[in-house]
Amino acid sequence: MAAAPQGRLTEAERGSLVVVGTGIRTGTQLTPETQAALRAADDVFYLVTDPMAAAWFERLVPHARSLLGLYDVGKNRGETYAEMVETILEPVRRGHKVCAAFYGHPGVFVLPSHEAVARARAEGLEARMLPAVSAEDCLFAELGVDPASRGCLSYEATDLLIHSRTIDPSAYLVLWQIAWLGNVRYSPTPSREHLPLLVEYLERHYPPEHEVILYEASPYPVGPGQIRRLRLADLPAAEPSPMSTLCVPPGQPSAPDPRMLERLGLPTRREGVSGSA
């Protein structure tokens, strides 16, 4: 086989990045594809949410290095994310096969994972992301929500407010990170002082007595997640945990457009329109 031109790396010498997710339930939601990526890596970095998950991951991959130490109280999270990206990419640039593992789904509310993949590709390096179980997947399963039945909007809570995102009260609404509303700096404890602003915004579309659901997927291999049903007006007093996701069920029925039903050749009766199987 002919040698590679001087200054150019062969495929075997070129570094690569695979970004994976650990799922939500510790030790039970790691896909075979993700396990293979971890085994094949020269360097493994990880970021999980609790000591038990960290201990499990370090038993699974003894040479793995945690990214948690890059956080610091009062430090802007954007700065921390940039440092994570550089930490992950440095060995890739040196020709190593790197796997970066994040809690849940690596592409759902994980900014450094997307940035690391984009930066690696921009530098001509192989990079890919593998799917995993997210908190929303667990929510759909445990709350019995089918997004095909009524539709589903999913927003980060702070983003909802600062961009005045559209709300359709005939569809499900999922709001992430409500315990960190308006907080861009790292803190070990959540800040709930802005929850009344969220309630004020939602009450433009739902009555104060509308039922909402605080959901927290269980990180443990057995047992259900935490499900708290309460009135919208009572949300500020509920003290959601750092991992809580808010689910707002539909507050009114949806009405199909008769003209569009006719153009699509669908029955005009409401029961004639259904979601996917």
Interval 157-167: pLDDT, tens? 999 999 999 99
pLDDT at 268 over 80: no
pLDDT for the residue numbered 8: 54
Percentage of the chain beyond pLDDT 70 is 90
Which pair of structure tokens corresponds to residue 263? 């153009």
The CATH classification number of 135-248 equals 3.30.950.10
Instruction: List the chain domain ranges.
Output: 16-129, 135-248
Helix (H) or strand (E) holding 101, with range, is: strand 97-102
Closest among 135, 145, 133, 142 to 227, alpha carbons compared = 142
165-181, pLDDT tens digit by residue? Answer: 999 999 999 999 999 89
Share of the chain above pLDDT 90, in %: 77
Number of residues that make up the chain = 277
Q: How confident is the model at residue 271 (pLDDT cuts 50, 70, 90)?
A: very low
Mean of pLDDT values over 251-273: 81
Band of pLDDT at residue 2, cut at 50, 70 and 90:
very low
Task: Report the predicted TM-score, pTM, of the whole model to 2 decimal places.
Answer: 0.86
Query: 59 phi and psi, to 5 degrees?
Result: -70, -40
Q: What is the mean pLDDT of the chain?
A: 90
Cα separation, 227 vs 223, in Å, equals: 12
Greatest Cα pair distance in the chain:
74
Q: What is the spatial distance between Cα 7 and Cα 210, in angstroms, rounded to a whole number?
A: 65
CA gap 214, 239 in Å, rounded = 10
- More confident position, 116 or 269: 116
Fold: same for 16-129 and 135-248: no
pLDDT, tens digit (0-9, with 9 covering 90-100), for 33-45? 999 999 999 999 9
Whether the per-residue pLDDT at 222 is higher than 50: the answer is yes
Instruction: Count Cβ neighbours within 10 Å for each residue of 219-253 and write b for 16 or more, e otherwise.
Output: beeeeebeeeeeebbebeebebeebbbbbbbbbee
Q: What pLDDT score was predicted for residue 102?
A: 97
Task: Summarize the confidence of residues 178-190 as an average pLDDT.
Answer: 78
Q: For residue 72, what are its two tokens?
A: 């610091």
pLDDT confidence of residue 186: 67
DSSP reduced 3-state for 159: helix
Given this model, what pLDDT does residue 273 score?
A: 47
Of 3.10.310.30, 3.60.20.30, 3.40.47.10, 3.40.1010.10, the CATH number of 16-129 is 3.40.1010.10
CB atoms within 10 A of CB 166: 9
Residues tagged active-site? 77, 81, 103
pLDDT of amino acid 192: 80
What pLDDT is stored for residue 9 in this prediction? 52
Tell me what the mean pLDDT of segment 93-99 comes to.
97
Q: How far apart are CA 171 and CA 253, in angstroms?
A: 8
